[in-house]
Amino acid sequence: DVRNAVYPGSFDPFTNGHLDIVERALKIADSLHIAVLKNTSKKALFTPDERVEIIREVLHKYPQVKVETFEGLLVDFCRTRQIRIVIRGLRAVSDFDYEHAIFLMNRKLLPDLETMFLMAASDNSFISSTIVKEVAHFGGNIADQVPAIVLDRMQKKRAHINAE
C-alpha cells in the first residue's frame, strides 16, 4: 500500500523550516504532495505559480515530491488523490490553537484523513514566512532562514534584499 501524504500551506516564501518538515515527512510518506494554497492576499510576495516553481526547484532531487497549487477545501484535494495523511509543522505552543482548529475541521469533513504534526527543529522554531518577508523587506539578512534558491528569487523580486 502506497502512503500518499500532503503538506499544505501558503509557502510565501518556502523556508528552511518547511524544507526540514518535507525531508522528515519523506521518511513517513512514499509520495508527498506539496499543496500551495491559492490565496489572494495583498501581502503576498510570490504568486502561487511562482511558489510552485521555486519549491520544485528546491526539491528537484526528490522525485517522490509533487508540487501543485490548490483552491477550495484541502479535504477535496485529498479525496481526489487518495491522500489520507496531512503533514503540518508545529513550532511553539502559539501554533497549537490554529492547528487544532484546522485538524478538527478537516477531521469532521473527512474522518478518514489523519493529520501528523512534526515538531520544528530548534534552529527552525522561530522561522516564519511572514517574519522572513518583513525582515527582507527592510533589508535584513535572511540567508540562514531560506534555501539559497529562495533567497535568489527574493533578491530578484526586491532589489534591496540583503544576502550578506
Looking at the annotation, which residues are catalytic? 18, 42, 91, 129
CB distance 70 to 37 below 8 Å: yes
Place of cell 490553537: 97
Other CB atoms closer than 10 Å to residue 83's CB: what's the count? 23
User: Which C-beta is closer to ligand PNS: that of 10 or that of 155?
Assistant: 10
Shortest distance (Å) from residue 28 CB to ligand PNS? 18
Give whichever of 32 and 74 is closer to ligand PNS, judged by the CB atom. 74
Ordered alpha helix ranges (H), 59-95: 74-80
Report, in this order, helix, strand and coil percent for the chain, each rounded to 5.
40, 20, 40
List the one residue from 73, 92, 143, 148 that touches ligand PNS (CB under 6 A).
73
| Least Cβ distance, residue 38 to ligand PNS (angstroms) | 9
Q: Using CA atoms, how far apart are residues 159 and 24, in angstroms rounded to an integer?
A: 33
> x/- string (CB under 6 A) for ligand PNS, residues 32-51?
-----x--------------
72: number of Cβ within 10 Å: 9
Query: Helices (H), strands (E): how many in the chain?
Result: 6, 5
Number of residues that bind ligand PNS (CB under 6 A): 9
Point out the residue whose Cβ comes nearest to ligand PNS.
Answer: 9
Nearer to ligand PNS, 117 or 162 (CB): 117
Determine the distance from the C-alpha atom of residue 108 to the mean position of all C-alpha atoms in its chain, rounded to a whole number. Answer: 23
Q: Which of 106, 110, 127, 146 binds ligand PNS (CB under 6 A)?
A: 106
116 binds ligand PNS (CB under 6 A): no
Q: Does 8 bind ligand PNS (CB under 6 A)?
A: yes
